[in-house]
A and B are shown apart, each in its own frame.
Chain A
């Protein structure tokens, strides 16, 4: 059975494919999908020629904004994000890694002022080869992508 058939097809919406295995749930929180009413289908640990194993997310009746698509790349640098209309791919959203993310992440530094105050976090995003790191605008500490939690 092909990967695309492992999870049900959607009529209209967005499909995020080629997510590095293990990152789908973080993307769900990143996009706030757990709080929305859209039907969301998640595939975990699907076989992939390109990645070996991958995750996949299908979102019914919602087209991702450019900013949202770009933020997704922080967790899924190889993701392909397709817009679906009437079961067909009508548009491929071009993405690039954003240079800054406002209010998206919680700073892991327990002594960072953002953990004490009611304020929006701000992280600068750096890419070094395959490694993506985030630097807090406030405490100036650098973190690996996998160290940071998404602000829910």
Chain B
């Protein structure tokens, strides 16, 4: 597929709430612009544009990379890192809060613990809205970072075997990434505790789309087969203390386990990690999660440039 980037782009003023909101051409365009920024040093401008970075729950990478992306392109940023200073504490609705902020800004980035909060914000706002994570639902820009990182380290997004490890039930990054995988010819290995397996509705979707996938409970059995091992944190609050200890030990990746890996295998993680990726993995040629985190800025630069500029070269 070829994309004529000189044309008016379809992402202009578009809300990005769920990965399914993006067409394959739009995904390709975002990756292409991100590559131009990273590899060719091409600069895009969002000068005189004001971004509202609205984070109702904690974030390090997502919030700061959106901020860095905006500032690097000459944009300005307002916002908050949590909801402690907002009138929501006085009982104001989310819809009213976001409608007002939309009047101040040219684009809203929102993270909120409630699922569907970004969709609601888009419906009440006059400016475009980007979802930076809504509960356990979606995190579409994180999925774009994974795609960009995979393309970068494997030279292609097709013909790959990808293992998804950890919390497949509640992980929003996983849910968005699976939606992204549906655009490509990949084979998935789903590795999780039984209680955190992929929801039936998503499995049905994979089947309908003809995606090849299988379920596993041990990381070791998939390591020799895959090109990408995408591991996520299992949240302690989902389990009792005893259950957590038992499960946690089964889902820790160590450097020794990677001895049987293919040479090209790269380990991705949306971060933060707790202990599911042992520190000794950092020293192996397979670790790619810090490069992946760095890619957060160029992907968000590309997205902001496309959403805020009607014509982009």
Residues of A within 8 Å of B113, CB to CB, are 111
C-alpha gap A131/B35 in the complex (Å): 45
C-alpha gap A59/B28 in the complex (Å): 56
B138 contacts the other chain (CB 8 A): yes
Beta-carbon contacts of B112-154 to A below 8 Å, as 1s and 0s? 1111110110000000000000111110000000000000000
Instruction: Scan residues 38-94 of chain A and give those whose CB is less than 8 A from a CB of chain B.
Output: none
Interface centre among A113, A136, A138 (most CB of B within 10 A): A113
| Number of residues from B at the complex interface, CB < 8 A | 19
Interface centre among A112, A118, A139 (most CB of B within 10 A): A139
C-alpha gap A112/B95 in the complex (Å): 14
Q: Is there an interface contact between A113 and B201, defined as CB atoms closer than 8 Å?
A: no
Interface of chain A: mostly helix, strand, loop or mixed: loop
Q: Give min CB distance, B211 to chain A, whole Å.
A: 17
B94 contacts the other chain (CB 8 A): yes
Closest to A118 in B: B93
Q: Is there an interface contact between A113 and B120, defined as CB atoms closer than 8 Å?
A: yes
Known: A111-B115, A112-B116, A113-B115. A139 touches B95 (CB 8 A): no
Q: How large is the interface on A (under 10, 10 to 19, 20 to 34, 35 or more residues)?
A: 10 to 19
B197 contacts the other chain (CB 8 A): no
C-alpha gap A138/B94 in the complex (Å): 14
B9 contacts the other chain (CB 8 A): no
Total number of A-B contacts with CB less than 8 angstroms? 52
Interface centre among A119, A135, A140, A142 (most CB of B within 10 A): A140
Known: A111-B136, A113-B120, A117-B120. A140 touches B115 (CB 8 A): yes
Beta-carbon contacts of A92-126 to B below 8 Å, as 1s and 0s? 00000000000000000101111011110000000
Q: Apart from A140-B137, A141-B137, what 13 extra A-B contacts exist at CB < 8 Å?
A: A111-B113, A112-B114, A113-B114, A114-B116, A116-B114, A117-B94, A119-B95, A136-B116, A138-B115, A138-B117, A138-B119, A138-B120, A139-B137
Chain A to chain B: the 9 pairs with minimum beta-carbon distance, closest first: A138-B116, A139-B115, A142-B201, A113-B116, A113-B114, A139-B116, A113-B117, A138-B119, A111-B135
Q: Mind listing 20 A-B residue pairs with CB under 8 Å?
A: A111-B114, A111-B115, A111-B136, A112-B114, A112-B116, A113-B94, A113-B114, A113-B115, A113-B134, A114-B116, A117-B95, A117-B120, A118-B93, A119-B95, A135-B201, A137-B116, A139-B135, A139-B137, A141-B115, A141-B137
